[in-house]
């Protein structure tokens, strides 16, 4: 790997439509239709999670580009979470993948596409059938940056990490709560592009009734400093790192992003 002393870290949130961000990221009274326009003034990337639940067409992506890029100097990158048919129902097809990628063309043409995210559920363990399925799935998205999150511990082995390096896949690092049944929180780079999802440390993860409940956690300054240190320690291993905070509930992400930005800039890392 080439040595890079000046990597770039993109900070953002999982989605941009949480009304809990009104009064912090979004000025009080901001209309939901203007959220993305405001968002693009502050952050360098966004992770679109709505695509996990329902497909989005070319027109919608083009509209996002119009809103984000109307901001002077904005170069917002869009990470896109793949539909649950690919990861949870596991009934996606090559044709389904082609349609998904075709819809992304406005992002590609604007050079605004960050990695695609495959987030597998806890029940997706590393057995032969799932390994074969994953191999086929990856082939459908060949040529696109692909970040993969595994929530089952069986995938978290040096062998799998090495295979990612060989295939040019992006290991999705995650900060999970420190509870039984979830993998350890580690920062791993398998390509020059890194991907990190911040889930918080809500110990009620398994009992939470909703995603917002699971992510109801605000990191401390010390926790953000530790993550900044971990990123700085590996700066020679990446050119670009995307960090997405999922804890938009109660505006936790707004405060945590400020903390991480300040800590990273303290290490001389460029932050967008």
- Please determine, for residue 2, whether its predicted confidence score (pLDDT) is greater than 50: no
Residue pair 120/131 in contact by the 8 Å Cβ criterion:
no
- The percentage of residues in the chain with a pLDDT greater than 90, rounded to a whole number, is 91
Residue 195 within any structural domain of the chain: yes
Extract the tokens encoding 254: 């707004």
Q: Specify the DSSP element, H or E, that contains 170.
A: strand 170-175
If one counts the domains in the chain, the total is: 1
Instruction: List the domain range (segments joined by +) for residue 139.
Output: 8-271
- Tell me the mean pLDDT in the region 56-81: 91
Residue pair 83/51 in contact by the 8 Å Cβ criterion:
yes
- The model's pLDDT over 248-260, given as tens digits with 9 standing for 90+, comes to 999 999 999 999 9
Residue 264 within any structural domain of the chain: yes
231 CB neighbour count, 10 Å cutoff:
23
Q: Report the C-alpha gap between 200 and 148 in whole angstroms.
A: 19
Residue 3 within any structural domain of the chain: no
| 3: confidence class by pLDDT, cuts 50, 70, 90 | very low
- The model's pLDDT over 192-250, given as tens digits with 9 standing for 90+, comes to 999 999 999 999 989 988 988 999 999 999 999 999 999 999 999 999 999 999 999 99
Please return the burial class of 53, using the count of CB atoms within 10 Å of its CB with bins 0-12, 13-18 and 19+: exposed
Residue 64 within any structural domain of the chain: yes
Domain containing 257 — which CATH number? Answer: 3.20.20.410
Residue 2 within any structural domain of the chain: no
Length of the chain, in residues: 272
Q: Which residues contact 135 (CB under 8 A, 6 or more apart)?
A: none
Q: Report the C-alpha gap between 240 and 189 in whole angstroms.
A: 10
- The model's pLDDT over 47-57, given as tens digits with 9 standing for 90+, comes to 999 999 998 99
| 70: confidence class by pLDDT, cuts 50, 70, 90 | confident
Residue 25 within any structural domain of the chain: yes
Residue 1 within any structural domain of the chain: no
DSSP state letters, 76-112: -EEEEEPPHHHHTS----HHHHHHHHHHTHHHHHTT-
Residue 190 within any structural domain of the chain: yes
> What is this structure's pTM?
0.96
């Amino acid at each position: 790997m080439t040595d890079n002393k000046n990597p770039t870290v993109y900070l953002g949130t999982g989605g941009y439509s949480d009304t809990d961000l009104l009064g912090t990221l979004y000025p009080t009274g901001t209309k939901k239709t203007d959220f993305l326009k405001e968002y693009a003034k502050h952050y360098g990337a966004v992770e679109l999670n709505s695509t996990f639940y329902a497909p989005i067409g070319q027109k919608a992506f083009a509209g996002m580009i119009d809103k984000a890029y109307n901001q002077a100097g904005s170069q917002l990158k869009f990470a896109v979470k793949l539909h649950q048919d690919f990861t949870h129902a596991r009934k996606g097809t090559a044709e389904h993948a082609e349609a998904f990628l075709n819809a992304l063309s406005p992002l590609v043409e604007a050079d605004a596409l960050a990695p695609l995210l495959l987030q597998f559920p806890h029940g997706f363990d590393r057995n032969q059938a799932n390994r074969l399925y994953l191999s086929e799935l990856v082939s459908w998205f060949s040529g696109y940056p692909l970040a993969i999150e595994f929530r089952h511990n069986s995938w978290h082995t040096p062998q799998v990490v090495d295979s990612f390096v060989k295939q040019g896949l992006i290991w999705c690092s995650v900060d999970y709560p420190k509870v039984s049944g979830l993998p350890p929180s580690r920062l791993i780079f398998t390509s020059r592009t890194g991907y990190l999802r911040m889930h918080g440390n809500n110990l009620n993860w398994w009992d939470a009734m909703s995603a917002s409940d699971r992510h109801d956690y605000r990191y401390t300054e010390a926790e953000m400093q530790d993550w900044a240190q971990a990123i700085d320690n590996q700066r020679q291993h990446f050119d670009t790192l995307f960090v997405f905070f999922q804890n938009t509930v109660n505006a936790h992400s707004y405060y945590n992003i400020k903390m991480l930005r300040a800590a990273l800039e303290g290490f001389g890392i460029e932050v967008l």
